Amino acid sequence: MNILHAALALTLAAPAVAAEAPAAALSAKEIYAKDAKSVVLILAGRPSGEGELGTGSVIDAYGRVLTNAHVVVDDRTGRPFPSVRVYLKPAKISGDPKTDMRDGIDAKVARYDRRLDLALLEPTRAPGVPALVLGDDAGVEPGDPVVAIGHPEQGGLWTLTQGVVSTVVADLGGVKGKNAFQTDASINRGNSGGPLLDRSGAIIGVNTSMARKAADGLTITSVNFSIKSSVARAWVGGENLPADVATTSPAPAPAAAALPPAPRTKPRVLTPAKPYRIDDVVEREMKEMEDLGNEMHDEIQRRAARPRGRRVRLRSGKPGWPRPGSRPS
């Protein structure tokens, strides 16, 4: 009987041992194929056409997006931009921003913390893509391979770069609890808020900043920073993290108290001629939104002046863009 009990105990224990086995290492190409569809392009701006372009990661079944606060919070007001939209990756990248940015969804800023440089967005509809896993960064060490997916200015959309973790940095920028990884994986403006992924495809960091020029003018290369996933998880909810947020382990600490906003500075970017400029994309999208709003307003006025019963057709414009000022803040 004791032998039978021992055998049964071994049988029940086997699945637990298998579940704790480390995830298989994926190639950069495999990570991109698995995760890129859950990485979004974020466009946030004012009706005047000025704004920011960045990257974000879908982290739950509702489609909530984790990104940097500086992507969606206006420096001038300290509050979220009035218009925020996320764009889903097309099945195949064409290389033409106008073509690749067809699937857009309006979103609102649910939470943000400018000192930690984190924000959580809620799209108006679920994007229907898998949630990326917020990984456990406790075992990440210098030399571990990583990849980043984002939309670097002077580069292409949904760009893949790779490198290694260079070191760890405590209290990045002097902000208590803003612990980060330094990486040589290429990160530029437009990558902000995007994921730094380990070889299992799990998020271990939120890309936030880079160093490009020293105070004396010396060019700096391969020094980029990514807020640790443990910091992001604690901020999103800590031990009370919503059940549908994908994680690989329990959150290590409860959420910290909200801190007052801090000013942001933009690094100087030294790169050659580029396929697209962030300012051009923001201006074009905001102009198309305004043109569609004006067109719809004029058509409504024409309808009101026509006899009842006559049917007219609205010319379709940019899908989903509301007239400036019409979407909730």
Count the neighbouring beta carbons within 10 Å of the beta carbon of residue 232. Answer: 24
- In three-state secondary structure terms, 116 is coil
Return the structure tokens found at 269.
């970017």
- Asked if residue 257 lies in contact with residue 236, where contact means CB atoms within 8 angstroms, the answer is no
165 Cβ contact partners less than 8 Å away, ≥ 6 residues apart: 140, 141, 142, 143, 144, 146, 181, 182, 183
Only one residue has tokens 């990326």, namely 132
Spell out the alpha helix ranges (H) of 206-316: 229-236, 278-305
Q: What residues form DSSP beta bridges with 80? A: 73
274 Cβ contact partners less than 8 Å away, ≥ 6 residues apart: 153, 154, 155
Angle at 262 between CA 259 and CA 264, to 5 degrees: 145
- In three-state secondary structure terms, 303 is helix
- Asked if residue 41 lies in contact with residue 151, where contact means CB atoms within 8 angstroms, the answer is yes
Q: Residues with catalytic annotation?
A: 70, 117, 192
b/e for 133-144, b at 16 or more Cβ within 10 A? bbbbbeebeeee
14 Cβ contact partners less than 8 Å away, ≥ 6 residues apart: none
Spell out the alpha helix ranges (H) of 73-152: 97-100
- Asked if residue 185 lies in contact with residue 196, where contact means CB atoms within 8 angstroms, the answer is yes
